[in-house]
């Protein structure tokens, strides 16, 4: 409310915010782990590596807990790789520049609508080797220097949470939810492709960020 007690948001605006939060909370982590698992089932060495790394950190006699997350670098690298290749939407939400700005080689005059191609960034050949390949190693260089892998990307080499005033306000929560969900599923089950399937068809659906065909896999506790 403002100083006079008048609501600053209408009921319609509050509903829109709630809707946006529900989409952000559910679609982002679920879409991410579905793509990551699909890619990893087609590259069983990455799935095995992820399982081995989790067993090294956590062992087989307890569940993964939030305090483990800083050590789950390989799992986070797999999630990041799925965000890079398969963002939940092809473009960032539209914004407008409030001042004249220079970004890289581009001059962006005040008042321009700005839409960033998430797919274009994630698959930029100037930034990524073999950009079409699912390779968690794309994100492990810094970790080899002792740094923790994180899901956000402050240098905007990919667009996971965006940044700045209108970037995602819940990076920590979103990263934690994605990592915990994914790590517990990897740790708690043996995943395989059902025998009549061969490999997973990685074709995306038309106009939606999900796999065109539902992901059917076998999960053995």
List, as residue ranges, the binding site for heme.
Answer: 168
- Nearest one of 47, 126, 107 to 82, comparing CA atoms: 47
Single residue of 53, 135, 136, 174 touching ligand HEM by CB under 6 A: 174
Residues in the annotated binding site: 168
Q: Which is nearer to ligand HEM, 26 or 218 (CB)?
A: 26
Least Å distance, CB 123 to ligand HEM, is 17
- Total of chain residues touching ligand HEM, rule CB under 6 A: 19
Does 122 help bind ligand HEM (rule: CB under 6 A)? no
Which residues contact residue 164 at a Cβ distance below 8 angstroms, ignoring those fewer than 6 apart? none
**3-class SS shares of the chain: helix, strand, coil, % to 5:** 45, 10, 45
Only one of the segments 1-9, 47-55, 96-104, 167-175 lies at the binding site for ligand HEM (rule: CB under 6 A); that segment is 167-175
152 close to 161: Cβ distance less than 8 angstroms: yes
Among the residue ranges 19-27, 59-67, 103-111, 142-150, the one whose residues contact ligand HEM (CB under 6 A): 19-27
CA distance 87 to 55: 28
User: Is there binding between residue 103 and ligand HEM (CB under 6 A)?
Assistant: no
Quick check: 73 binds ligand HEM (CB under 6 A)?
Answer: no
What single string gives the DSSP state of each residue in 126-175? TT-SSTTS--GGGGTHHHHTTPPP-S--TT-SS-SS--STTS-TTHHHHH
- Please tell me whether residue 21 binds ligand HEM under the rule CB under 6 A: yes
Contacts with ligand HEM by CB under 6 A lie at 20-21, 24-25, 28-29, 92-93, 160-162, 166-170, 173-174, 178
């Amino acid at each position: 409310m403002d100083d006079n007690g008048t609501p600053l948001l209408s009921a319609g605006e509050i509903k829109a915010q709630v809707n946006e939060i529900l989409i952000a909370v559910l679609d982002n982590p679920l879409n991410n782990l579905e793509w990551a698992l699909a890619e990893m089932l087609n590259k069983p060495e990455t799935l095995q590596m992820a399982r081995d790394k989790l067993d090294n950190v956590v062992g087989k006699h307890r569940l993964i807990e939030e305090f483990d997350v800083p050590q789950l670098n390989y799992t986070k690298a797999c999630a990041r790789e799925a965000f890079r290749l398969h963002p939940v939407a092809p473009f960032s939400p539209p914004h407008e520049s409030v001042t004249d700005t220079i970004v890289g080689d581009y001059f962006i005059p005040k008042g321009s609508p700005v839409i960033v191609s998430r797919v274009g960034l994630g698959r930029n050949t100037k930034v990524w080797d073999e950009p079409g390949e699912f390779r968690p190693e794309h994100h492990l260089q810094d970790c080899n220097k002792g740094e923790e892998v994180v899901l956000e990307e402050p240098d905007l080499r990919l667009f996971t949470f965006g940044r700045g005033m209108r970037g995602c306000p819940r990076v920590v929560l979103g990263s934690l939810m994605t990592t915990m969900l994914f790590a517990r599923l990897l740790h708690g089950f043996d995943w395989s492709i059902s025998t009549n399937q061969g490999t997973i068809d990685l074709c995306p659906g038309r106009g939606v960020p999900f796999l065109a065909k539902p992901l059917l896999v076998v999960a053995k506790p």
